[in-house]
Structure 1
């Protein structure tokens, strides 16, 4: 019950701001698909022996879906968490009630999962008129998208709880988020990367989410198998949950 009470706080806040997310949920994905999938994709598709097996738009569409989940998770697990500790101190206000530290954290993580799911469903609706959905399994694509969001959001909760300045988020973006978005199979197969970079891509949660989303929308097998990719994402979530709980406990109870 405590987790649901914490979730209710975030949903109540979202009721006042949801209109600002409509543009980013529909218009931005559509423009990006046109810019990359249609415009750049026409050059990629014109090359003989492209090797993707599908039109470039159909290839990057599910990758962008997973990447969007990552971006939503980043947005919900950095400044909102930091401000709840340091600026508006809403976590401290919650802790003054019967809510436990774990319930406070889980409520926010559950809100992150819901925001990620909504963004993933919106992206699927954008992909539909482009003809990029080739399987009924596409309906399941929001599930790996949510796993990607939690796999990145949970450890970032712990990071946001530990830092004493929001300036550290710039480091997180430059050294983790941007490289992961560029080199985790969203825009091109990771097999074309050098071995060290390919190993980092395999270790990242985004690549596993991209593989699952692409398999769902195209109706094709994944590189490692569905359960292997899911297991890696669940391992990231479990480790991130433990890290986040430790950080929240330190800030709210020590």
Structure 2
């Protein structure tokens, strides 16, 4: 009788896609169904980031753009940076690195928590949602946070007079959102394969911090020694900084811009594939 009523049976787990999904399984189809969940998450968390969204760009630009910038301009002169002030040079770099930092922050502890602590991903996987929908929802929320953070940062830049080209500033906002997404997907894929949050210390110390310092945001990477300079050119943040600076200064080199864009798009797509496969494997355990 109990077996007929289903009492005591273990719920059957939904069959997840293989670790090498096809194209159809890489495409989210029910992504809008997650809208209510992520709106609720944002309503509960936005107060914790609203102050820092305004404060951090203000402090960075005051300390480095104006404080250090006045020292650089007085001693080296505008010719050292191609005829622009240090504030105008550093502003797009700070905007790009802000997108990178936000992306990595959104794809480390929050993703680990959804797997390990509150396990909301497993709840999602028990519904008609596909793995690509779960990944897409997390990425869409991260992109939303990146957009808001960088939009505020861009407004602060305008207030400091660091935007000579408003149209280029709007285009730069779109570029840094792409840059953030290009960082987000590989980090999300990495987090899906990590068993413990202890590895995040290495992500921040050996990943985020070196890319932040050697991104070209604070000085031209041509000043770096040969091997380190070439290594800096491989990082996605350098491509984002260069493209953002082109747009904010109104000095766009078409082929270089296309190369930077292609690099970021390829990285985004590769990270997406690795994220879906990583999520599928983790959720099947």
Q: Identify the TM-score tier after normalising by the shorter chain.
A: over 0.9
Q: In structure 2, do the counterparts of structure 1 residues 190 and 224 end up closer, same or farther at CA, with 3 Å as the change threshold?
A: farther
Is residue 253 of structure 2 the alignment partner of residue 225 of structure 1? no
Matched, 1:250 2:278: no
SS in 2 for 1:134: coil
Separation in structure 1 between the aligned mates of residue 225 and residue 254 of structure 2, nearest angstrom: 18
Asked if the contact 1:73/1:116 (under 8 Å) is kept, the reply is: yes
1:51 equivalent in alignment to 2:99: no
1:17 — aligned with what?
A: 45
Partner of residue 159, structure 2 = 129
Q: Quote the Cα distance in structure 2 between the aligned partners of 1:219 and 1:226.
A: 12
> 168-177 or 220-229: which moved more?
220-229
Cα distance in structure 2, aligned partners of 1:128 and 1:19:
24
Post-superposition Cα deviations, 1:181-240, rounded to whole Å, max 9, x if no partner, equal: 000101001111112111121111111111111111111135962111000001111111
Q: Who is 1:34 aligned against? A: 62
Cα RMSD over matched residues?
1.4
TM-score, structure 1 length as denominator?
0.96
Is the 1:2–1:104 Cα contact (8 Å) retained in structure 2?
no
Query: In structure 1, what is the equivalent of residue 182 of structure 2?
Result: 151
Query: What CA distance in whole angstroms lies between the structure 2 residues aligned with 1:8 and 1:208?
Result: 35
Task: Extract unaligned runs of 5+ from structure 2.
Answer: 1-28
2:80 is the counterpart of 1:80:
no
In structure 2, do the counterparts of structure 1 residues 186 and 223 end up closer, same or farther at CA, with 3 Å as the change threshold?
farther
Query: How far apart, in 2, do the equivalents of 1:235 and 1:146 lie?
Result: 15
Number of aligned residues = 254
| Greater radius of gyration (CA) | 2
Aligned-residue offset at 1:72: 0.6
CA distance in 2, matches of 1:3, 1:199: 39
8 Å contact from structure 1 (residues 211, 223) kept in 2: no
Pick the aligned partner of 2:218 from 183, 187, 199: 187
Q: CA deviation at 1:130?
A: 0.9
In structure 1, what is the equivalent of residue 98 of structure 2? 68
| 1:6 corresponding residue in structure 2 | 34
> Do 1:7 and 1:108's aligned partners in 2 also have CA atoms closer than 8 Å?
no
Which position in structure 1 is the counterpart of 2:147?
117
Post-superposition offset of 1:6: 2.6
Task: Find 2:135's aligned residue among 105, 121, 127.
Answer: 105
Deviation at 1:5, TM superposition (A): 2.1
Paired with 1:164 and 1:44, the residues of 2 have a C-alpha distance of 46
**Under a length normalisation based on structure 2, what TM-score does the superposition of the two structures give?**
0.86
User: Aligned pair 1:212/2:243, yes or no?
Assistant: yes
Q: Which moved more, 1:9-18 or 1:124-133?
A: 9-18
- Is the 8 Å Cα contact of residues 140 and 216 (structure 1) preserved in structure 2? yes
